[in-house]
Chain A
Amino acid sequence: NAGVTQTPKFRVLKTGQSMTLLCAQDMNHEYMYWYRQDPGMGLRLIHYSVGEGTTAKGEVPDGYNVSRLKKQNFLLGLESAAPSQTSVYFCASSYPSTSGGEETQYFGPGTRLLVL
């Protein structure tokens, strides 16, 4: 049971390049999230998904797209990278609780992205 994994671990991009970050979870979780972490800002939600084939915008969605074609995978795409997207990206997953809320979110190890 690997939990939540993210690839790649580190990437350097030039402005205008595109890339896709992959998040995979083997816990059969319904919910998946992408956050970005910047110094002094904590973590901010980019996009999230409450199930296969569904996605929704978070707090800072501009410049990113996502897809959830398979339940276990959640992809984050940057179509045209900008220096402002230099950050550490974390994926998380969780599942509904029996009380109607949500269980604990489990986080991946992060992807460090540098846009020059």
Chain B
Amino acid sequence: GNSVTQMEGPVTLSEEAFLTINCTYTATGYPSLFWYVQYPGEGLQLLLKATKADDKGSNKGFEATYRKETTSFHLEKGSVQVSDSAVYFCALRLNQAGTALIFGKGTTLSVSS
């Protein structure tokens, strides 16, 4: 079946540290891949996405590259800030209309100053 596996948290970093959150997927066909972020007490917001192999999604200093050969979509940021503290969800969606997102379990990031 289709699934997403992301690294267990929590991830605790100091401000300006480098961030990597690993995400791998299993899917039939060629899914679109997403990273969503959930700040405390809020809903999910789309952080970035990639719709085909080798695409790189980027936003707010975060990047992730769609790697078909390793079925991965790892999230990276060169220098994290305290304001990046949140829960990050990797997700996939098959490219069929009306298809729901399949989420990983989420990774909590805590950044201290």
Contacts and interface: CB of A to CB of B under 8 A. Distances in A.
- Whether chains A and B associate is yes
A24 to B, nearest CB: 14
A31 B104 contact: no
Interface in B66-113: 89, 93, 95-101, 103-106
Interface string B50-62: 0100000000000
A41 to B, nearest CB: 6
A5 B42 CA distance: 12
A43 B32 contact: no
Interface string B35-49: 010000011111001
Contacts, number: 59
A42 B100 contact: no
A102 B99 contact: yes
Given A107-B43, A108-B43, A109-B42, A43 B97 contact: no
Nearest to A94: B98
B100 to A, nearest CB: 4
Nearest to A56: B98
